[in-house]
Structure 1
């Protein structure tokens, strides 16, 4: 089984990684961005190198943009597909190898995951899921979010050495996504393990070791959720997963794959939103003081946190036909990568983009949740968790001191911090 997984990884990700390393040695800014992100290093300089070369940087295998207007247009254009296989996977030998080594487990970044299918399948999935994530349904979760945050804050106050990532930022989202999936509290440690372990799958081409860990988590998660789904068929609850099962519009594989997607995407985005927000507010005490003086600004602050340090950094699309967008021509099959963190720092849209400003009037124009038909379903839930959690944290503690310099996680797409050990003063 291990050899099979390695061959699948080599065909899907190993070949693209070889190209990236080769391009990085030639000082290509995109390749450098990808590798330095994976090493946990800051990448703003590479983003600005790409920006300096115009709205669209073309390469032999793909094009890349950090331009907000072009990125938005592509994300909204239905002539682009969200099904973007690695370029090398289009060759017949590689396609054959992928078929022969198929891992046979639900993968949240492969069809039939909602983020990797196009209409009409995407439309069908979205219609089934959108109602449980509408504004009214999310507001019903407010009371639970408040209760979870209060419990976590009490734990932080009682802990001699709290870690604001491990003990706070990770715990709230896993509790809420557990409620969305109808998973009992005793399963939350496993949900947390699978969520963290699966994060590299959302990268463009993860290394073999984290990929292997992620696949093991997928297998364990699939076994649990297959049993859990069967249980909810017999005894449904008032949760999103029960509603999806009762609707009957998804087969078992579609249910399992999109459950894995809801777990990974719903968990990771909010974890990094909270962690990034804490670091930004610690580094900009004048902005924190403004929020304490004018707490009605917290919704805008969450948007600025999302803009300034986007939890999701990269997405891609492939042209399904010869087309033109914003004056740029794309041939059928052309792959376009959009660096969302770069688009969120486009000076044509956000003046003085590297200034963190919770009063920024157009901060909500960020692309951190994507745009178009694939806009993140859980965006408003993440916003609500962010507002309640961060405001409550800073209301509860008069002073927070980070005990060490934060270190970035070694992932490309999901942008956050490894740990945030802190001293808290009530």
Structure 2
């Protein structure tokens, strides 16, 4: 029987410098522990998977919200939905994200990544978070959703404000309560985009138009459902994807031998992206609400209590991943990674994130001769469900003209429809 704890001082929502040793201590001493917020914290890989798959006993509804917070049904984000409603919304998203939309996104990602990296190298480095990794996903998201490039800075600012305000937890900001009142600029912008699509003849790869047209069992999404679904997609595409690119940068800068190995053998790049997703986990945790009295790994939990699933801990569980704190490019356990969640709520943007990451890494390998940290390696800052690098300062030098390169577009041009959407 694994040890449990009735009380623990672990608070996953306290803003602070983050280290993965926190999770190691929980796995070793309290794999199912009480947190300082009153919920249960689950830290072992197999226990996390079990809870994620059990939609009868564990609900997404209000899992991450404060006790007593009530959210209108059509305002709930996709990660707050349960079957059958979640299945219906997810099927609508899958109808909207087509192979055509993925194929047209790939060349844009290549072009934009090359431009941003060229500018960064020309400056001999600096903060790559502010200059590249925070910026690139926003432009990819805008292209993917057919939004004006000029709107990217304010969309990113709205998402940052939404996260920093605690809206995902409290359902309110300084503006007011609920999505329309709490996020007036963002929701107003989305609703104008929806209105514009009605008067246009959209392209086949227009995800917003496809989402509006999606028909599941004779029903289409309402304006409110479209708004909450699109905000969920934008937040995921612009925030966690930015973290992934920062993590990839860190792992390239920390080990020169790894950098050179990847440059000499590009077939390892996709394995590298998947391994960084595992070891650094852009989304560290999500929450569930207990539907009926049950147990988790022998620990009794009661209806109405919250259960926090530590994806980042499960991804470093030594019972599943030998030498879990090491980046291993030949790791055969990679398919068991929880980087994109597990079960019904597996991230629908996983394929796009991996494609973006692979193109980003290949572009750096093509264009950068040398990169190193400018000062001590930074620490990640825990805010909500993510732990990001506020900045990563680098010194870089350009690769000499004429050096062998691998075009970033090669990461996508030969992929099948199934691979593009998997």
Question: TM-score, normalization: structure 2?
Answer: 0.81
Give the whole-Å Cα distance in 2 for the aligned partners of 1:198 and 1:257: 13
> Could you tell me which residue of structure 1 aligns to residue 46 of structure 2?
69
> How far did residue 239 of structure 1 move?
1.5
The alignment of Structure 1 onto Structure 2 pairs a total of residues equal to 382
C-alpha change, 1:165 and 1:359, in structure 2 (3 Å) is same
> How far did residue 70 of structure 1 move?
0.5
C-alpha change, 1:301 and 1:134, in structure 2 (3 Å) is farther
SS of the residue 2:322 aligns to: coil
C-alpha change, 1:86 and 1:232, in structure 2 (3 Å) is closer
> How far did residue 27 of structure 1 move?
9.5
> How far did residue 266 of structure 1 move?
1.3
The unaligned stretches of length 5 or more in structure 2 are 1-5, 399-422
> How far did residue 130 of structure 1 move?
1.1
Give the whole-Å Cα distance in 2 for the aligned partners of 1:340 and 1:167: 29
Give the whole-Å Cα distance in 2 for the aligned partners of 1:202 and 1:142: 33
1:236-315 matches, cutoff 5 A: 236-237=202-203, 238-247=205-214, 249-315=220-286
> Could you tell me which residue of structure 1 aligns to residue 28 of structure 2?
52
> How far did residue 327 of structure 1 move?
4.7
Q: How well do the aligned residues superpose, as a CA RMSD in angstroms?
A: 3.1
> How far did residue 333 of structure 1 move?
2.5
Give the whole-Å Cα distance in 2 for the aligned partners of 1:163 and 1:291: 23
> How far did residue 71 of structure 1 move?
0.2
> Could you tell me which residue of structure 2 aligns to residue 164 of structure 1?
128
* 4+ residue segments displaced more than 4 Å: 85-88, 134-137, 201-206, 208-212, 214-217, 324-329
Question: TM-score, normalization: structure 1?
Answer: 0.81
1:423 is the counterpart of 2:399: no
> How far did residue 246 of structure 1 move?
2.7
C-alpha change, 1:355 and 1:204, in structure 2 (3 Å) is farther
SS of the residue 2:46 aligns to: helix
> How far did residue 153 of structure 1 move?
2.1
> Could you tell me which residue of structure 2 aligns to residue 367 of structure 1?
338
The unaligned stretches of length 5 or more in structure 1 are 1-25
Checking the alignment, whether the CA contact within 8 Å between 2:63 and 2:80 is kept in structure 1 is: no
> How far did residue 115 of structure 1 move?
1.0
SS of the residue 1:415 aligns to: strand
1:345-360 matches, cutoff 5 A: 345-360=316-331
Checking the alignment, whether the CA contact within 8 Å between 1:200 and 1:211 is kept in structure 2 is: no
Structure that is richer in strand per residue: 2
> How far did residue 217 of structure 1 move?
8.5
Q: Deviations over 1:114-164 (max 9, x none)?
A: 111111211111110013335664244222211111222222233355431
1:153 is the counterpart of 2:114: no
C-alpha change, 1:352 and 1:202, in structure 2 (3 Å) is farther
SS of the residue 2:252 aligns to: helix
1:143 to 102, 107, 110: 107
C-alpha change, 1:128 and 1:286, in structure 2 (3 Å) is same
1:28-177 matches, cutoff 5 A: 28-31=8-11, 33-35=12-14, 38-39=15-16, 41-58=17-34, 61-79=38-56, 80-85=58-63, 89-90=67-68, 111-133=75-97, 137-159=101-123, 161-177=125-141
